[in-house]
């Protein structure tokens, strides 16, 4: 997959493509429908497939003092687009000047990029003050517009990144994963923690330092997996403050079941399947150990219900 980082004032010489367009945080089932349509149309037209997305997040541009987490930070989205089979990824540098473009200027930009067909949702808006819509796109005649109805969660609400974020933050991982079409995951590097798991509890844990500002699930204990390279290992994952030990810093750690490799410094992903329980402060170390052993058994029972393929670890556009 080729990646172009583009300033709207200086468009390089680009090939003719069929593109989808959006912010694509999470690459959920609605986004995946856009990608699938793009790939199909590109094959029909014998053109490369492309995706146009924006960086940084428009919200951060207009609210620079506020941190913004994401379901899939830009680096993760790049990997997911490649995994999906997109040929070319266009990352548009989002600036205030870019945001001020009229919808006519935006059409010229797409034309200068040699976009032959554009796949987007019927609810897509763009240009200054969101003045551009599916109607203004279809009014221009140089680029074919393929409009896709939003994928609905139910009869009332569509699948959206913001709704999925709320579900994850509330610990409703199963609902979030159903909308994503794959297991929600956080990528990072294993770092040294307090080593209480191995030295005090005899239940060693791997402490994750996230690569970026990921949306974090609600504080609690989860059944899930650790992905190391291309292998998946069952894991009991905890997000929280370890209140029994009085921590003040939130940690993300996992006890990887039946695993004894050295993970320090390794790049891994924690994948979330289901919340087991909230985090509690226990009266003693023994009470905590007893509960953790129960959590491990619960994790085994939950993960035994399906194979890793059935849980869906990646997006699938086939």
Q: Which residues are catalytic?
A: 253
- The total number of residues shown for the chain amounts to 318
Per DSSP, the three-state class of 19 is: strand
Q: How many CB atoms lie within 10 A of CB 49?
A: 26
Q: Which residues pair with 120 in a beta bridge?
A: 147
CA 318 to chain centre: 19
CA nearest to 196, candidates 247, 129, 150, 262: 247
Give CA–CA dist 227/278, Å, rounded: 24
Give CA–CA dist 127/130, Å, rounded: 5
Q: Which residues pair with 84 in a beta bridge?
A: none
Give CA–CA dist 37/46, Å, rounded: 14
- CB contact burial 165-182 (16+ within 10 A = b; e otherwise): bebbeebbbebbbbbbbb
| DSSP state, residue 170 | T
Q: Residues 6 or more apart from 193 whose CB is under 8 A from it?
A: 205, 207, 251, 253
Q: Does an H or E element contain 5, and which?
A: strand 2-6
Give CA–CA dist 240/218, Å, rounded: 8
Q: Are the CB atoms for 25 and 70 separated by under 8 Å?
A: yes
């Amino acid at each position: 997959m080729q990646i172009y980082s583009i300033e709207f004032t200086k468009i390089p010489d680009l090939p003719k493509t069929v593109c989808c367009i959006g912010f694509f945080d999470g690459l959920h089932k609605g986004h995946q429908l856009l990608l699938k349509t793009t790939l199909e149309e590109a094959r029909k037209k014998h053109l490369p497939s492309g995706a146009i997305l924006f960086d940084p997040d428009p919200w951060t541009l207009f609210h620079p003092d506020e941190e913004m987490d994401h379901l899939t930070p830009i680096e993760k989205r790049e990997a997911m687009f490649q995994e999906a089979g997109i040929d070319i990824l266009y990352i548009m540098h989002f600036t205030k000047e870019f945001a001020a473009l009229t919808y006519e200027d935006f059409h010229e930009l797409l034309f200068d990029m040699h976009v032959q067909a554009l796949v987007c949702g019927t609810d897509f808006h763009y240009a200054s003050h969101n003045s551009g819509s599916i109607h203004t796109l279809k009014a221009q005649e140089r680029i074919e517009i393929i409009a896709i109805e939003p994928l609905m969660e139910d009869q009332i609400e569509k699948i959206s990144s913001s709704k999925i974020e709320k579900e994850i933050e509330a610990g409703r991982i199963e609902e979030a994963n159903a909308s994503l079409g794959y297991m929600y995951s956080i990528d990072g590097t294993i770092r040294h923690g307090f080593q209480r798991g191995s030295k005090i509890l005899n239940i060693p844990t791997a402490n994750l330092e996230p690569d970026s500002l990921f949306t974090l699930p609600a504080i609690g204990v989860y059944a899930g997996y650790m992905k190391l390279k291309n292998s998946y290992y069952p894991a009991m994952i905890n997000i929280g403050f370890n209140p029994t030990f009085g921590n003040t810093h939130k940690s993300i750690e996992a006890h990887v079941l039946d695993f004894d490799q050295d993970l320090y410094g390794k790049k891994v992903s924690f994948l979330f399947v289901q919340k087991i329980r909230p985090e509690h402060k226990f009266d003693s170390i023994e009470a905590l150990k007893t509960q953790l052993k129960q959590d491990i058994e619960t994790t085994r029972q939950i993960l035994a219900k399906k194979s890793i393929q059935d849980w869906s670890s990646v997006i699938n556009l086939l």
